[in-house]
Amino acid sequence: MAEVFISFARQDQAFVRELDSALQKLNRETWVDWRDITDAAQSRAEISAALEAADNLVFVVSPDSVKSSMCRREVAHAAAHNKRLIVILRRSVERNELPPALAKTQWIDCPELGFEQTIAL
């Protein structure tokens, strides 16, 4: 069972690879879908199972992730299963653009804090 499920837009993959590596160095087990996500039922079932097994969902905020229907589904599914929601701001968006479950969640501002400080939190 992964401790952390990372939800992100493909445009932020380089950042997420760095985040995933840093979390693993801190002995955090992560689950990341590196494949190009299809809307196939099998893919959705695998993602849902991984979310349900994880303790936390880390949502990487960017203009692309807040517009992604897949990312929004992941957040809604995690919220429905009472997962801890952790929000990392990668690229700026208006707070009202966030999926509803994240709207009131305090985010970690990576551009302001820097990568090392973000991971330390």
Contact 54, 5 (CB under 8 A): yes
Q: Phi-psi region for residue 114, left (φ > 0), alpha (ψ -120 to 50) or beta?
A: left
Q: Which residue has the higher pLDDT, 40 or 27?
A: 27
- 79-109 pLDDT per residue, tens: 999 999 999 999 999 989 999 899 888 888 8
Contact 22, 119 (CB under 8 A): yes
Rounded to two decimals, the pTM is: 0.90
- 65-76 pLDDT per residue, tens: 999 999 999 999
Structure tokens at 82: 């009472």
- 30-59 pLDDT per residue, tens: 999 887 655 555 678 888 999 999 999 999
